[in-house]
Amino acid sequence: MESVKKAISTEYIRLDSFLKLCGTFETGGQSKAAIQGGEVKVNGEICYMRGKKIRPGDRAEYGGKTYEAVSK
């Protein structure tokens, strides 16, 4: 599984915004649909909360890729 590190400049970022920042989705609607459809995992567990706070060290998984939030 491919792993990508993405720097965030704040204490946390919402899951849907983080996935857009990583380039996984172009719109919030696309990320919302994937999250609510159970297609996204956070730290190894399926997450249905698009407002989930992603902090440095957290990992989101979608489409065979893992995205890790790191401090800027």
Residue 2: per-residue pLDDT = 83
Query: Total domain count for the chain?
Result: 1
Q: Residue 49 gets which letter from DSSP?
A: -
| CATH of residue 55 | 3.10.290.10
Which tens digit of pLDDT belongs to each residue from 8-59? 999 999 999 999 999 999 998 999 999 999 999 999 999 999 999 999 999 9
- The residue type found at 35 is I
> What pTM value is reported for the model?
0.93
| Backbone Cα Rg of the chain | 11
**What is the spatial distance between Cα 27 and Cα 54, in angstroms, rounded to a whole number?**
18
Going by C-beta distance under 8 Å and a sequence separation of 6 or more, which residues neighbour residue 26? 20
pLDDT for res 69: 98
Domain, as residue range, for 48: 2-71
- Cα(10)–Cα(34) distance, integer angstroms: 24
